[in-house]
């Protein structure tokens, strides 16, 4: 069977194998890699129903990657193992009239683990296939979740070093400790005096610094990226949409072939795009609701066809969705309108911060929830079912309710649950009762344990007493020097 090849979203003559695309991360012209043709699932429903998560992952990933069976199985078996605290890897649970797809059972308690547990193995295999000899250096700027998930994924992987830059004063207490207590000799964590944008811009400048790249190459290093535009992050996310559907059939919520809707709390548009890919592969999914918080660029886009990032940036209780440029939307634009239109749209985004596109895909629509609606959703779901959601999941819940009311659909709905409530304990507890607003984030974890009946997850249990291993702080203008200092 022919393995998928990849083309650019701004120029269809830019092509790459999966291995090349994973190592490069982004096209030379700044576009993203998309599959030239989205492959079709070649297993029957009966076969799929009999698989565990790893077997299913193999059947999906083999269609997208130019790896041997042995290589791919090695990657999958080392990624989805005891690092996850449930044997199922991704439980689908029913509470009230919603199904929750819990993607937060990995080591960092957020859905980023689904892709970042396997990306290091995909990268190493890709490097081997491409005959790349240099040691890989992953540079990551993070606003909280990606940094820790990447650290966990790459820590202790030989032939790879990883550096993470986070805004010293811009992450939650749990997020900060998760990063600064990171073990592994190949890891380096640096707080920067600046915000996420400063960190991100500095890292991007380093990626395009030819002189530095040459210097590093002489020493046997090459930079790579673990951010969500890498197809090595996108493709593993397709698996859990199949998984959710299969579990819903097993639970008797649907029969195979009946529609199952998904609501996805969205930031960079990577998670929901993976669901859309699953549908293109033949999964009988129904509708996809793209849920935004107050930063509702995507909601406006799906309503009007106008994408406009010229607006105030809101800091919300769902920080991983605080984003005004959803990079992976470029892929959907290209699948809908082709490379020429996409190129023009991205040029307009660069020049004016806005573009207009024709939306030909009816399977996705937008909804949003403001802060009050998010808090209200956490409170109501707890009151009615005893289930405690995190803030991102709550945005999705509120959005799903709105979609149901507007469309009148009776389809079962999966709420894609992207983080453990323990990661955002303070906001979750405050949503449940105002009196917690003054509490200590770590004390509140015990309280959350009491009221939810879900034990504090092992990866963050006692985190406040762990040894801080990374105390580096650096000025935002000194990041490049810091990188050189660590590597050279």
Ligand X SMILES: *Cc1c(COP(=O)(O)O)cnc(C)c1O
Q: Is 419 a binder of ligand X (CB under 6 A)?
A: yes
Give the Cα separation of 236 and 349 in Å (integer).
28
Buried (b) or exposed (e) across 102-132, using 16+ Cβ within 10 A? bbbbbbbbbbbbbbbbbbbbbbbbbbebeeb
Of 12, 36, 112, 128, which one is the catalytic site residue? 112
Cβ of residue 134: shortest distance to ligand X, in angstroms?
29
Q: Is 292 a binder of ligand X (CB under 6 A)?
A: no
In which region does residue 190 sit, left (phi positive, over 0), alpha (psi from -120 to 50) or beta (all else)? beta
> Between 102 and 271, whose beta carbon lies closer to ligand X?
271
Q: Coil, strand or helix: which one is 62?
A: coil
The residue from 4, 143, 182, 266 that contacts ligand X (CB under 6 A) is 266
- Candidates 154-162, 217-225, 267-275, 296-304 — which segment interacts with ligand X by CB under 6 A? 267-275
The residue from 268, 293, 316, 430 that contacts ligand X (CB under 6 A) is 268
Cβ of residue 391: shortest distance to ligand X, in angstroms?
8
Cα angle 105, 200, 487 (rounded to 5 degrees) comes to 90
The residue from 178, 187, 228, 295 that contacts ligand X (CB under 6 A) is 228
Integer distance in angstroms from the first to the last C-alpha of the chain? Answer: 44
Q: Is 112 assigned a catalytic role?
A: yes
Binding residue count for ligand X, defined by CB under 6 A? 17
Binding mask 146-185 for ligand X (x = CB under 6 A): ----------------------------------------
Q: Is 232 a binder of ligand X (CB under 6 A)?
A: no
Q: Is 366 a binder of ligand X (CB under 6 A)?
A: no
Cβ of residue 129: shortest distance to ligand X, in angstroms?
27
Binding mask 376-405 for ligand X (x = CB under 6 A): ----------------x-------------
Q: Which long-range contacts (CB under 8 A, 24 or more apart) does 204-208 make?
A: 205/480, 206/139, 206/479, 206/480, 206/483, 207/139
Cβ of residue 227: shortest distance to ligand X, in angstroms?
10
In which region does residue 139 sit, left (phi positive, over 0), alpha (psi from -120 to 50) or beta (all else)? beta
Cα angle 176, 178, 182 (rounded to 5 degrees) comes to 115
79 closest CA partner among 240, 209, 314: 240
Site residues (CB under 6 A) for ligand X? Answer: 110-112, 145, 228, 265-271, 320-321, 392, 418-419
- Residues annotated catalytic, as ranges: 112
């Amino acid at each position: 069977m022919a393995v998928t090849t990849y083309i650019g979203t701004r120029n269809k003559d830019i092509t790459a194998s999966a291995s090349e695309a994973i190592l490069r991360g982004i096209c030379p012209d700044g576009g993203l890699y998309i599959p030239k043709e989205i492959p079709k699932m070649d297993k029957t429903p009966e076969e799929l129903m009999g698989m565990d998560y790893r077997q299913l992952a193999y059947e999906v990933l083999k269609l997208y990657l130019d790896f041997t069976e042995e290589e791919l199985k090695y990657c999958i078996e080392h990624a989805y193992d005891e690092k996850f605290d449930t044997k199922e890897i991704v439980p689908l649970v029913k509470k009230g009239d919603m199904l929750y797809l819990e993607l937060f059972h990995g080591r960092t308690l957020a859905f980023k683990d689904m892709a970042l547990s396997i990306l290091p193995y995909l990268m190493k295999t890709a490097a081997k296939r491409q005959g790349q000899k240099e040691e890989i250096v992953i540079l990551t700027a993070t606003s909280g979740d990606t940094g820790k998930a990447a650290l966990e994924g790459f820590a202790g992987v030989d032939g790879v070093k990883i550096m993470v830059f986070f805004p010293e004063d811009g992450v939650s207490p749990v997020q900060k400790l998760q990063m600064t207590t990171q073990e592994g000799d190949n890891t380096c964590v640096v707080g920067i005096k600046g915000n996420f944008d400063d960190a991100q811009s500095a890292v991007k400048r380093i990626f395009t610094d030819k002189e530095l790249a040459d210097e590093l190459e002489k020493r046997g290093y090459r930079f790579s990226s673990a951010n969500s535009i890498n197809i090595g992050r996108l493709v593993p996310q397709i698996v859990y949409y199949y998984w959710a559907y299969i579990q819903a059939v097993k639970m008797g919520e649907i029969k195979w072939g009946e529609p199952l809707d998904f609501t996805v709390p969205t930031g960079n548009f990577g998670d929901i795009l993976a669901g859309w890919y699953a549908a293109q592969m033949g999964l009988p999914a129904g509708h996809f609701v793209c849920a935004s918080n107050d930063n509702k660029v995507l909601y406006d886009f799906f309503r009007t066809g106008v994408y406009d990032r010229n607006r105030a940036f809101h800091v919300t209780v769902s920080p991983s969705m605080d984003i005004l440029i959803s990079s992976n939307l470029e892929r959907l634009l290209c699948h809908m309108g082709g490379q020429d239109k996409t190129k023009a749209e991205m040029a307009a985004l660069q020049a004016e911060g806005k573009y207009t596109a024709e939306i030909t895909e009816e399977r996705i629509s937008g909804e949003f929830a403001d802060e009050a609606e998010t808090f209200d959703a956490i409170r109501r779901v707890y009151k009615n079912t005893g289930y405690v959601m995190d803030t991102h999941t709550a945005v999705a819940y509120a959005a799903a309710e709105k979609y149901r009311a507007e469309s009148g659909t009776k389809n079962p709905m999966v709420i894609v649950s992207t983080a453990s409530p323990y990661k955002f304990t303070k906001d979750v507890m405050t949503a449940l009762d105002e009196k917690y607003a003054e509490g200590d984030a770590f004390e509140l974890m015990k309280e959350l344990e009491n009221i939810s009946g879900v034990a504090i997850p092992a990866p963050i249990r006692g985190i406040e007493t762990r040894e801080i291993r990374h105390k580096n702080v650096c000025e935002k203008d000194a990041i490049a020097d810091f990188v050189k200092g660590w590597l050279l």
